[in-house]
Structure 1
Amino acid sequence: MDDDTTTGIPSRNARPPQAQAALGVGVLVRDGRGRILLGRHHSGTWELPGGKVDATHESVAEAAARELREETGLRVGADEVRVLAMLHDSVHGINRVTMAALVDITAAVPEVTEPHLITTWQWIRPEELPAPLFDPSAQILAAWRPDLGIAHPPVHRLDITPEADQEESYSD
């Protein structure tokens, strides 16, 4: 039953939570030469492909594949997306949760499919990152490669355990 019959108040499971978070995904796209894909936003920052996870029906991996296709024209399946970490910070009192995802592509030419947002996509060696970086992209890049010493706003990090590791931990 969805309502408490004595009070008429919906049960906890039927009430929507108060919105206090935004869930997104940033996609590290790595080519066969070890370079990563960054886009130059009209504001001047460089960023990874990515965006919001659709709340109605998609997984983080599906959102990563969709955002990559929508923003660059590059196509991968959700099964080719590896989620590395969950990053969490706060912007203007809203919790921002960014899922860091990695996709390996051997050879591809990205397209500027949203010219009102991005002026160019470029393959860049991680050791030669341009500045300034969009904060969530900087946080993802630093989580992926802490050795690069990328400056970024503070962020909480939760590493995602690969499925194979999860299976091994349950087999004891």
Structure 2
Amino acid sequence: MDSRPTEIPTRNTRPPVAQAALGVGVVVQDERGRILLGRHHGGTWELPGGKVDPTNESIAAAAVRELREETGLDVTEDRVTVFAMLHDVVAGINRVTMAAVVTVQSENPQVTEPHLISTWEWTGLDDLPEPLFDPSAQILAAWRPELPVEHPPAHCLKVVAVPAGADS
């Protein structure tokens, strides 16, 4: 009789099947209250942002990287506030968009990806251009619900900071 213990397989021996796309959109606000929007060649206006790299990158790090890659604006992670998680479904895939905000000086953003964006413009909240890219519209509506922004429905989970000492 064999007395060796039977190995019990762990639950995480195989990678999960991808069922979601994770991205971040950044509301970049200047000291005058304007926000930064880019004109995509597809015709929509959008916030800076993109996919979170599958390299154990944090949401704030992805926001900083995307902002720098797309506009040339350089901020540090500690200046980025993640304020909401939005979830909808596109073509059968869960789309999870993390919404972040950062305030900067009225700097001149650069078009660093001219194959995607033709211009970056500082825009007043009372003069938002149309049409907005759906995830950008969802983020703006979560950030400022009073804005008259048309957007597809999305589940919104507000992110709140945990008070110091609450995790002990």
TM-score class, shorter: over 0.9
* Aligned ranges 1:1-80 → 2 under 5 Å: 5=7, 10-80=9-79
Q: Which residue of structure 1 aligns with residue 3 of structure 2?
A: none
Structure 1: gaps (5+ residues): none
* 4+ runs deviating over 4 angstroms: none
Secondary structure, counterpart of 2:68 in structure 1: helix
Q: Tell me the alpha carbon deviations over residues 111-151 of structure 1, each in whole angstroms, 9 at most, x when there is no partner.
A: 00000000000000011100000000000000001101211
Number of matched pairs? 163
Secondary structure of 1:70's counterpart equals helix
Shift of residue 34, structure 1, vs aligned partner: 0.2
- Structure-1-length-normalised TM-score: 0.90
CA distance in 2 between partners of 1:105 and 1:14 (Å): 44
Give RMSD over aligned pairs: 1.7
Give the structure-2-normalised TM-score. Answer: 0.92
- Give the SS at the match of 2:140: helix
2:132 corresponds in structure 1 to: 133
Could you tell me how far apart the structure 2 residues matched to 1:160 and 1:55 are? 22
Q: Which amino acid aligns with 2:164?
A: E
Measure how far apart 1:48 and its partner are.
0.2
Secondary structure of the equivalent of 1:96? Answer: strand
Map 1:114-133; keep pairs closer than 5 Å.
Answer: 114-133=113-132
Looking at structure 1, the residues matched to 121 and 161 of structure 2 have their Cα atoms a distance apart, in angstroms, of 29
Distance 2:133 2:106 in 1: 25
Give the gaps of 5 or more residues in structure 2. 1-5
